[in-house]
Chain A
């Protein structure tokens, strides 16, 4: 019997995406330790990584990091294919769609803060849509929109500022490249 070795050909870019996704995953774990007053209101620290990757390596890499983080995070917390997973996924997909649009804004005028806030609004919009269409098909959930919108505005701004700091501080390479 011969030992069979399965070798996947990986590129440096793959390694890089995996590292960034791991950093994002770490932030997700960290964030889960923070108590939240309302399910769904959380800072979304992992999106800082997504924003940095978006600024440095483009949308494709950012999408990989974001979706890998959602998938790995759900496996880690044991809610893969549970409602919470689909909420994360819908939020991430809507955020990425928004980022795909907002990244074309002139960079001279719009920075990570804009991307972050817009993505945060898209995130809650996507989540509320899934909640409404699937989990709680009742117009009463509209009552919660102001809370989620305020959280998106605040946390979106904070995450954007943190991401912008990293983007500005290390303009060429390293630092967060892992």
Chain B
């Protein structure tokens, strides 16, 4: 197999591989999040920085959701919603990530750097 590769081909492959890794790092690294946007009933409830660890209680129609911010990550720790989707989503870390508890009308969205796109903002 090696006899089919000429010296210049190795150069091409190397540049190609480096280019691919480079593009991947640029595209996939994403903006690091620095703030959490907490909404309740469609209105912004609080905007908190991720730099300070804290727990926030957010009231909703079903009860209180508890949002935890720790080590520059955020998650919904507890929520009265029946299926617990937002709680099971776990930690949010990158800008643009969002956890939504629809029944309790509470959501946490991470923002920062440049906003990343997803199908929601199309």
Contacts and interface: CB of A to CB of B under 8 A. Distances in A.
A129 to B, nearest CB: 15
B16 interface: yes
B9 to A, nearest CB: 4
B4 A109 contact: no
B7 A109 contact: yes
B1 to A, nearest CB: 6
A110 B6 CA distance: 6
A139 B8 contact: no
A105 B122 contact: no
A127 to B, nearest CB: 15
Interface in B1-26: 1, 3-9, 12-13, 16-17, 19-20, 23-24
B20 A113 contact: no
A157 interface: yes
B47 to A, nearest CB: 25
A177 interface: no
B27 A142 contact: yes
B27 A146 contact: yes
A114 B12 CA distance: 6
Interface of A: 105-106, 108-114, 117-118, 121, 138-140, 142-143, 145-146, 149-150, 153, 156-157, 160-161, 164-165, 168
Interface of B: 1, 3-9, 12-13, 16-17, 19-20, 23-24, 27-28, 117-119, 122
